[in-house]
Every structure is written in structure tokens, then in C-alpha cells.
Amino acid sequence: MLILNKTAGVFSKPSKRNMYEFLRSFNFRPGKRFLHKLVLGIETSCDDTAAAVVDETGNVLGEAIHSQTEVHLKTGGIIPPVAQQLHRENIQRIVQEALSASKVSPSELSAIATTIKPGLALSLGVGLSFSLQLVDQLKKPFIPIHHMEAHALTIRLTNKVEFPFLVLLISGGHCLLALVRGVSDFLLLGKSLDIAPGDMLDKVARRLSLIKHPECSTMSGGKAIEHLAKQGNRLHFDFKPPMQHAKNCDFSFSGLRHIIDKMIMQKEKEEGIEKGQILSSAADIAAAVQHTVACHIAKRTHRAILFCKQRDLFCQSNAVLVVSGGVASNLHIRKALEIVTDATQCTLLCPPPRLCTDNGVMIAWNGVERLRAGLGILHSTEGIRYEPKCPLGADISKEVGEAAVKVPRLKMKI
Ligand code: KG4
Ligand code: ZN
């Protein structure tokens, strides 16, 4: 059992006065009535402090976000106490901005929804502690949110998508394939056995010192790889996609990362340059890495689609694949997935980029979905804890592996 970290409070000494002042800062407008239910969503599971107010029909009334990316880029990765401190410094302002933009006063909210799992313990603690104080002051229901479920359901805010559908979540912290059967009904078909693709691309970009590249200095690792790959020739390097013989829907990126590291070391020797300088072949390496990652993701997703079709798990009329997460904004990876969905007569859907990455809207929307379905709405927050580790749904990845679905070879002409 995880204990809520007391040091993760919103204020150095959580005080009721602070919260009253915060609430008083809003313009209460008596007489104004909202016909729809309104949910405030709060997200602090990793390195983004985000909040949004969304109504029952999916209108985003207000949103705000503070990204820590620039700070973490400089230190070469997320340092949890630094992330915690930045969440603490920003959460009140971000929630206030979202509420002000929405023109909704806190008393008009139907519920407060907050990410409580999975994520960085110190980061989750800030959002939960802040939310619990707000819930206590406002006497509103609290809706605890699973971060991955929220990512998976975001598409229902932007598109008319019925259950069940397949979702591929690929980001810096996530990599999984799941069948979404309902608001809180998920079947996990496969996941990364080690690191996530975004994490791997970030590490390769760091090893290639792309932060020193004049065109990439402010980009995340994945974005820098995509940018540079456009100038490179992927055929100059031949990295094999991982797990070619494992007939399941799991992923792996660590082994590939080590092979690339070795290749970079060899190239540095050949070019007579030190670690930290940019290789003349950096763009070719970026192109080859991106293509190998795309092929690996496409193959596992192809198998998941075929498994769902064989077991009749899709909607009769339309099989839908939803792709989300920061890595889903990569156009080369999207193209590879398009080749798969074209070959399997599936519809490929991606939320817009700002909703693919971590945001407050997806948390508020998950709150709306739960409110509508009457699922997981708490009127007492006694004993509520955050959970840094928490699987998504029922894990059937072993059964998927045992089915050993054969995947026909597709030409990845991208
Ligand atoms: O979803 P996200 O904002 O945060 C979480 O990890 O939850 O995803 C960030 C990740 C980073 O690893 C970043 O390098 C990667 O997404 N990323 C990309 C691209 N843009 C961001 N990876 C590949 N291609 C991109 N264009
Ligand atoms: Zn996320």
C-alpha cells in the first residue's frame, strides 16, 4: 500500500486560508446557470501541470498547462523532486487559469477529476493533495482517474467512436496496446517489456548530442529525431526490428537502443570525433532508428488487429485503431500504421497533437465519461491514495502470445 507523501502538499504548509483565498479569487455570478454537467480535470502525473474544464457534451470551456520540458531537457531527463517542486509552484495558477478561462465558478462544478495513477509518486502527490483540499472546501464529488484510461478515451471527445476499439499508446512513459470495451473496461493485449519508444528516442537523441544541433536545440528527443531523419538516408544503416520471432503483441526498445549506442561509438571512432560532438552521419542514424521503431510498432499493432478480428472482438460494422501519446505525432510512424490499417480494413484515428500529449482536457473528459456512466464517483475521499504503478485493465497478453497469430509481411515503403 502506498502512503500519500506528506511533503507533496500543494503549499509548504497546506492551509485552509490559502484555499479560501484561492476560491475567493473567482467571480461568483449568482443567477448564471449551466445546463450541462461540468468537470474540472487536474493532471500532474509526470512533467506537465495541466487543468481543464469540460462540459458533458465535450465542450472544452477552459484549459491551461505548464510544461516542464525545457527544464528537464537541460538536465537530460526528469528529476522527480524537481518535477514535484515545479508542480507545486504552478498548480494553483494553472487551475485558476483553466477556471477563469471557462468562466465557471468553482461552486458550479459537478465534480473534480484528478489523475491518481500511474505516474511519478512525487508528481501525483501534488495533484492529489491539491485536489483533495479543493474537494473538501467545495464539497464536490471526487473522481480518481487512471492516466492511461484517460489517454485511451480522449478520442471519444473529438470523434464519434463506439466501444469496442483498439488503442495504441506510445509516448515517453507509455507503450501498450489495449482493447477498450467500455469506460472502465480494458483488455491489455501487449506492452513494452522495458522502456517506452519516446524514452528510447530521447536517449538516442541525447547520445547523438542533438541538443547542440542548431535546428534541434529546443526539440524533445523524438521530435529532433523526426526532424533530422528527413535529411538522412535510412538505408545507410541496417537495424533489425526487435522481437521478430516472438509472436505476441509486446514491445521492446532497450536492446535496439544498445545496438544503436554501439554503432554511434563505432562511427565516432571512424570519424575521429569525441562523444558530445555531432556525427556527420547523425541524420542517417536518425532516419534508420525512426524507421526501425516504426516497423516494430507497426508489426505488433498489425498482430493485435488480426487477433481482435480472429476473436470477433471489434465492433461488427467498423474496426477502429486509435493511436495516441507524444510519439503518435511522428508522421513516419503514423504512415507505417496507415499501411497496416489499409491492409486490414481498419479506420485509423489520432486525437489532435495537443490532446495526444499529457493535458488536463483528457482528465476532465474521463471525469465526464465516468459521471455519465455512474462509475467511480466518490463522495468521501477517506483513504484515497495515489498509485505510481498500476496496470491497465485485464492483462490477456499471455493468451495473445499463445494464439501466435502470423502476421503477413507488408512493404513499409515510406
Ligand atoms: O505524451 P508525452 O508528451 O509525455 C509522456 O511521455 O507521457 O510524450 C513525450 C514523448 C517524448 O519521449 C518525446 O521525445 C516523444 O514523445 N515525441 C516524439 C515526437 N514528439 C514527441 N517522438 C517521435 N516523434 C515526434 N515527433
Ligand atoms: Zn501520458
Instruction: Give 3-state DSSP helix, strand, coil % of the chain, rounded to 5.
Output: 45, 15, 40
184 φ, ψ (degrees, to nearest 5): -135, 40
Q: Which of 44, 66, 115, 220 for a ligand 1 pocket mutation test, highest count of atoms within 8 Å of Cβ?
A: 220
Give the mean model confidence (pLDDT) for residues 358-379.
97
Q: With 70 as the cut, is the pLDDT of residue 14 above it?
A: no
Q: Which of 73-82, 220-229, 301-310, 359-368 has the lowest mean pLDDT?
A: 73-82
- Alpha carbons 207 and 221: distance in angstroms, whole number: 10
pTM: 0.91
Quick one: pLDDT at residue 5? 35
pLDDT at 10 > cutoff 80: no
Exposure class string for 208-247: b at 16+ Cβ within 10 A, else e: bbbbebeebeebbbbbbbbbbbeebebeebebebbbeebe
What digits encode the pLDDT tens for the residues 54-102? 999 999 999 999 998 888 878 878 899 999 999 999 999 999 999 999 9
Q: Above pLDDT 90, what percent of the chain?
A: 85
Q: What is the pLDDT of residue 344?
A: 97
Instruction: Determine the Cα–Cα distance for residues 196 and 313; give it in Å rounded to an integer.
Output: 26
Q: List ligand 1's pocket residues with C-beta within 6 A.
A: 46, 171-173, 198-199, 201-202, 220-223, 226, 325-327, 329-330, 357-358
Point out which residues pair with 55 in neighbouring strands. Answer: 38
Neighbours of 413 (CB within 10 A): 6
Q: 240 alpha carbon to ligand 2 midpoint, in Å?
A: 28
Is the Cβ–Cβ distance between 283 and 236 less than 8 Å? Answer: no
In 3D, which of 336, 374, 361 has the Cα closest to residue 113? 361
Give, for ligand 1, the residue of 327, 350, 356 to mutate: max count of ligand atoms closer than 8 Å to Cβ.
327
Cα(241)–Cα(361) distance, integer angstroms: 35
Ligand 1 center to 363 CA (angstroms): 19
Distance CA 332, CA 228 (A): 12
Q: What is the pLDDT of residue 35?
A: 65
Residue 335 phi/psi, 5-degree rounding, is -65, -45
Contact 107, 40 (CB under 8 A): no
The pick from 149, 292, 355, 357 for probing ligand 1's pocket by mutation, whose C-beta has the most ligand atoms within 8 angstroms, reads 357
Centre of ligand 1 to C-alpha 173, Å, is 9
Query: Cα(102)–Cα(31) distance, rounded to whole angstroms?
Result: 17
- Band (28; pLDDT cuts 50, 70, 90): low
The mean predicted confidence, pLDDT, of the chain is: 92
Position with higher pLDDT, 353 vs 93: 93
pLDDT at 125 over 70: yes
Is residue 111 predicted with pLDDT exceeding 60? yes
Ligand 1, atom 21, residue with closest C-alpha: 326
Give residue 334's Cα distance to chain centre: 16
**Count of C-beta atoms within a 10 Å radius of residue 95:** 28
Size (the chain), residues? 414
Residue type (1 letter), 240: K
Rounded to 10 deg, the angle between the 331-343 and 221-229 helix axes is: 80
307-352 per-position pLDDT tens digit: 999 999 998 788 999 999 999 999 999 999 999 999 999 999 999 9
Its CATH class, for the domain covering 36-159+356-373, is alpha beta
Element (H, E) at 112: strand 111-117
Helix (H) or strand (E) holding 188: strand 185-191
Domain spanning 165-354+394-403 has what CATH number? 3.30.420.40
Secondary structure class of 70 (helix, strand, coil) = helix
Q: What are the residue boundaries of the structural domains of the chain, listed by start?
A: 36-159+356-373, 165-354+394-403
Q: Which of 95-104, 211-220, 342-351, 360-369 has the lowest mean pLDDT?
A: 211-220
pLDDT tens digits along 226-235: 999 999 999 9
Torsion over CA: 98, 107, 146, 16 (sign): positive
Please report the pLDDT score of residue 32 as a whole number.
54
Banded model confidence at residue 44, pLDDT cuts 50, 70, 90: very high
Query: What is the arithmetic mean of pLDDT over 218-229?
Result: 94
For range 213-228, the mean pLDDT: 93
The strand pair at 165-170 and 394-395 is best described as: unpaired
Query: Do the two domains 36-159+356-373 and 165-354+394-403 of this chain adopt the same fold?
Result: yes
Is residue 18 pLDDT above 80, yes or no?
no
Which ligand lies nearest to the CA atom of residue 224 in the structure? 1
Give the Cα separation of 249 and 239 in Å (integer).
20
Listed in order, strand segments (DSSP E) in 358-402 are 394-395
How far is Cα 284 from Cα 302, in angstroms, rounded to an integer? 27
Residue 165 main-chain phi, psi, to 5 deg = -145, 160
Q: How far apart are CA 341 and CA 320, in angstroms?
A: 9
**Quick one: cell of 357?**
500529449
Tell me how far the alpha carbon of residue 360 lies from the centroid of ligand 2, in angstroms. Answer: 11
> Which atom of ligand 1 sits closest to the CA of residue 196?
12
Phi, psi of 230, rounded to the nearest 5 degrees: -65, -25
Contact 407, 299 (CB under 8 A): yes
Q: For residue 28, how far is the Cα from the chain centroid?
A: 34
Q: Which amino acid is at 87?
A: H
Phi-psi region of 374 (alpha: psi -120 to 50; beta: other; left: phi over 0): left
Rounded to the nearest whole angstrom, what is the distance from the C-alpha of residue 301 to the centroid of ligand 2? Answer: 19
Lowest mean pLDDT segment, chosen from 34-38, 125-129, 383-387: 34-38
Looking at the predicted structure, is the pLDDT value of residue 4 above 70? no
The C-alpha atoms of residue 81 and residue 248 are separated, in whole angstroms, by 37
Q: Please say whether the beta carbons of 203 and 359 come within 8 A.
A: no
